[in-house]
Structure 1
Amino acid sequence: MGDLNSNLMALSSYALDSTKKEDLLDQYLQETLSQMMDEYHKNQTPIDIDFRKLIHWLRAGDQLTHQIHPYPAKLLPHIAYFFLKAHKNLTQKLVLDPFCGSGTVALEASIHGFLPLVADANPLALLLTKVKTTPYCIEKLIRIKEKISYKYIRYKVAPTIDIVNPDLWYLPEHKKRLEILLRTIEEVVDQEEKAFFKICFSSLTKKVSFADPAISVPVRLKTKEKFSPTINARINKRLDWIKSANIIQEFNIIVDANIERVIETNNKYPNRFTAKQVGIDARSLFTNPNGSIPMPDNSVPLVITSPPYGSAQKYVRASSLSLNWLELASPKELRSLEEKSIGREHLKKTPLCLEESNLPQDYVQLLKKIALKNEVRAQITQKYLIEMSQVVDEISRVTAPNGRVIFVLGNNQVCGETLRNDRFIIECFQKHHLKLKLILIDDIKSRGLMTKRNRTASVISRETVLVFEK
């Protein structure tokens, strides 16, 4: 990138040391984005970038309310930060993320003066995003915490919560104590505060379970002969801790940590906006709670989103314990919830009708190659592409004239065949006459996408950031 790299490093250093107003940083980031787009327009070549180095003053670890709850494959906050700061001069401060996930874009939008509009098929994602972006009254949270602890000691029974394979994941006594704790939380009158304590409770259900904390989907933690003595000793130590864990004590530790995160965020950004839900399906965005009024055409000036990647992550399974405990989806409802999610793992087997899919011929031929090796994977991939094209239809509809869409995605392999998701999305947006202004390539370092989801999938090690303009 030549001079651009030098400018970026100079910008980063300046941003750290300068005492001038924040709008100077916004201006420099706007100029940086403009330089990138000029370079891309000139060379028509994707630009390699390291967002961590570009925005190196932003901590990648625990900051604000970003780490209030675990969630798989979180978007790097630096990406959202960069594009939001580079668009701070927008007259209408709205940003849409139709795949909000853990709420990374929503929180960054909220603290930078944008109203976040969010959608997601996973109800846990919507709950988490709301909690992350809500400027809670700290005194109220502390009072409720004390009341929950008081009731927890007094209550002896609670309604049974239906969990997938409860004996596999919990000691019977732990499950009983968790049910009593949930009973006390359900009695919280204020819905916003109840949501906060439910998210804390959700974190606890993972922490005191026998699920391996290093794996996003629930996998029983146990020693194995192939592991080294050191690793097995560490696992046994973890298992012993789980068996002796004090439920209310661990809950209060999580609550206190999350209250500290809210305090930090409130102190730095007291006027941030709480995210507004605009859908449960990225293909159908609305403006009212029951979903009967579509979001107006040409109404959103900025879209920043990262959709599920084909063969990358089992989002519903990864959050299955939380979905069960919070009664957002019963064990029997998990499959139907997955079926509503784009990028699903399972699909009812039906005849493969490629010629009727309206997909570009290059992708029809690719699916035929996949079908020769595994017809089910071909069906799942076809469904993913069709649904992503519908997502692009809806995003294109609601994006305002001159508005921009930032799309973060990855390419992968299915049965040894390369699936160019980036090219497919580019073709879809160009059908709606959105112009491709920039392609950035960044290496994935810690998004939980490095592990193969199944034996027919591949490792995803690079992310593509596409910038379109209407």
Structure 2
Amino acid sequence: MAGKRQALSSVGGPVEARGDRAFRFPLVEAMRAQDESRDALGLTHGFHAYPARMHPAIARVILEELSLGPGSEVLDPFCGSGTVAVEALVGGWRSLGSDIDPLALRLARVKTDRRGPKARARFLDRLGAVAAASTRRVRERVDVRARLQAKERSWYEVHVLKELAGLLEEIRAVRDERDRLALEMVFSAIVIKFSRQRSETSARTSVKRVRKGLVTEFFVRKGEELANAWAELSAAIPSPHHAPRFVLSDARTLPHTLAGEYRCDLVLSSPPYGGTYDYLHHHARRHAWLGINPKQLRDKEIGARRHLSQGPRARAKAEPSSLARWDSQNRAVLESIAELLRPEGVAVLLVGDAEVAGQRVAADAQLERLAPDAELVVVAVASQARPDWRGGRPRSEHLVALRRSG
């Protein structure tokens, strides 16, 4: 790969870049934009927590720099909470997002919903009505049963469990589907906060003092936050615009799911960082409350820590098979991307170094090694060190640009 390695200063530390200058520049600019606006999410991006989502600034810069003009098509095969879709909507792109988790698609649809003043006012009226009914239930001690298994119920204090269950019953009674689905995502946004789960990405428990009525108060605050975010989004969307589309699919079988002549100009996505997260576990509280069957996520989640990271006793035996699995998963993703790209299309992937059976796997090097199997070639890379959540040596995060080699 041509190009001299360079280090550039940014708020988050030096960015090392190599490869084709035409692609190296936007990758570095995207990394720097992420650091310079780390807390400035804006639009609907900050409404709902979602582990390891792409920073909006990365998506914004890449979409601006690589646009081929109005109506260019971008695909995000790991759309998560819809970061790329929101930025594509504002940037005038056509977009398609896919994910294996139905929760992700529900959330992405709500976050990209264009709501004018009347629709926002109607939503706020329904939010208020649901909250008033929930407050009345709490005050009058209305008996309600959470439709959860015993193990799932154990994550909540009894009075919190009842308030959440009553709140969800009132949401489900809303007849307007559009508002009901949005209210469910507001509910989803507060579920973990009021559970005994310590954080979004930790399965450990912690003691939380929650007074009666606080759940409903936070529900209202989060709903109002969504309405305000919709107003900001609506003001930013150009006219005419292209509404995003979403499909439920494993990224590796997306060409089969689309079953047609779909092609895109750009793939922009952040695939899972190997051995780092378990979305099945991170969203377990939400899946249970919302009645989402996570079977596909359980069976086919890519890069899951439960599949790739092993305890010390198992590492020696598991290492070859775990590394082979991680290679196989990424090879299949690259093959899918290559099939969906137009001949002159570009793929930009935000990837992090993996932790597989106790071994660090450099994500950029892995993509360079596997890309030829999918008839792709890495044309540029921008890399920046990130703190290791375990307190060990830093991992690196990389923006990698690929093109078809044929």
Bin for the TM-score computed over the shorter chain: 0.7 to 0.9
The 8 Å contact of residues 405 and 469 in structure 1, kept in 2 or not, is answered as yes
TM-score norm. by structure 2 comes to 0.82
**Shift in alpha-carbon separation, 1:264–1:73, aligned structure 2, 3 A:** same
1:338 maps to what in 2?
298
2:14 maps to what in 1?
none
1:304 maps to what in 2?
268
Could you list the per-position Cα deviations for residues 97-153 of structure 1 after superposition, in whole angstroms to 9, with x for gaps in the alignment? 111122221211121111221111122211111111111221221122133234435
2:389 maps to what in 1?
451
Amino acid at match of 2:188: S
Alpha-carbon distance in structure 1 between the residues aligned to 2:252 and 2:313: 27
1:85 maps to what in 2?
64
Alpha-carbon distance in structure 1 between the residues aligned to 2:162 and 2:260: 44
The residue matched to 1:324 in structure 2 has which SS? helix
Could you list the per-position Cα deviations for residues 164-202 of structure 1 after superposition, in whole angstroms to 9, with x for gaps in the alignment? 734542111211121111111112223332221111101
The 8 Å contact of residues 80 and 105 in structure 1, kept in 2 or not, is answered as yes
The 8 Å contact of residues 163 and 213 in structure 2, kept in 1 or not, is answered as no
1:192 maps to what in 2?
178
1:54 to partner: Cα distance: 4.3
Are residue 404 (structure 1) and residue 346 (structure 2) matched?
Answer: yes
The 8 Å contact of residues 47 and 440 in structure 1, kept in 2 or not, is answered as no
Are residue 161 (structure 1) and residue 147 (structure 2) matched?
Answer: yes
2:13 maps to what in 1?
none
Matches within 5 A, 1:412-451: 412-444=354-386, 450-451=388-389
The residue matched to 2:66 in structure 1 has which SS? coil
1:367 maps to what in 2?
none
The 8 Å contact of residues 111 and 273 in structure 1, kept in 2 or not, is answered as no
1:363 maps to what in 2?
none
Alpha-carbon distance in structure 2 between the residues aligned to 1:412 and 1:211: 25
Alpha-carbon distance in structure 2 between the residues aligned to 1:48 and 1:407: 10
1:265 aligns with one of 214, 218, 233: 233
Amino acid at match of 2:201: S
Alpha-carbon distance in structure 2 between the residues aligned to 1:408 and 1:118: 16
**Shift in alpha-carbon separation, 1:424–1:340, aligned structure 2, 3 A:** same
1:351 maps to what in 2?
none
The 8 Å contact of residues 36 and 438 in structure 1, kept in 2 or not, is answered as yes
1:265 to partner: Cα distance: 1.5
Alpha-carbon distance in structure 2 between the residues aligned to 1:418 and 1:154: 54
2:167 maps to what in 1?
181
The 8 Å contact of residues 94 and 302 in structure 1, kept in 2 or not, is answered as yes
The 8 Å contact of residues 48 and 442 in structure 1, kept in 2 or not, is answered as no
Amino acid at match of 2:110: V
Could you list the per-position Cα deviations for residues 195-237 of structure 1 after superposition, in whole angstroms to 9, with x for gaps in the alignment? 2111110122122222224x52332114xxxxxxxxxxxxxxx
**Between Structure 1 and Structure 2, which shows a larger proportion of strand residues?**
2
Amino acid at match of 2:398: T
**Shift in alpha-carbon separation, 1:201–1:73, aligned structure 2, 3 A:** same
Amino acid at match of 1:375: K
**Shift in alpha-carbon separation, 1:347–1:208, aligned structure 2, 3 A:** closer
1:256 maps to what in 2?
224
The residue matched to 1:390 in structure 2 has which SS? helix
2:291 aligns with one of 318, 321, 327: 327
2:203 maps to what in 1?
218
1:85 to partner: Cα distance: 0.3
Question: Percent same amino acid at aligned positions?
Answer: 22
**Which runs of no fewer than 5 residues in structure 2 stay unpaired?**
11-16
1:418 to partner: Cα distance: 3.6
Alpha-carbon distance in structure 1 between the residues aligned to 2:343 and 2:313: 40
Amino acid at match of 1:130: R
The 8 Å contact of residues 98 and 305 in structure 1, kept in 2 or not, is answered as yes
Number of equivalenced pairs: 384
Alpha-carbon distance in structure 1 between the residues aligned to 2:214 and 2:360: 49
Amino acid at match of 2:129: K
Alpha-carbon distance in structure 1 between the residues aligned to 2:198 and 2:358: 29
2:81 maps to what in 1?
102
Alpha-carbon distance in structure 1 between the residues aligned to 2:54 and 2:149: 29
Could you list the per-position Cα deviations for residues 229-252 of structure 1 after superposition, in whole angstroms to 9, with x for gaps in the alignment? xxxxxxxxxx33x24552222211
The residue matched to 1:395 in structure 2 has which SS? helix
1:276 maps to what in 2?
245
**Which runs of no fewer than 5 residues in structure 1 stay unpaired?**
10-34, 223-238, 349-369
Alpha-carbon distance in structure 2 between the residues aligned to 1:218 and 1:278: 29
1:116 aligns with one of 85, 90, 95: 95
**Shift in alpha-carbon separation, 1:257–1:97, aligned structure 2, 3 A:** same
1:452 to partner: Cα distance: 4.1
TM-score norm. by structure 1 comes to 0.72
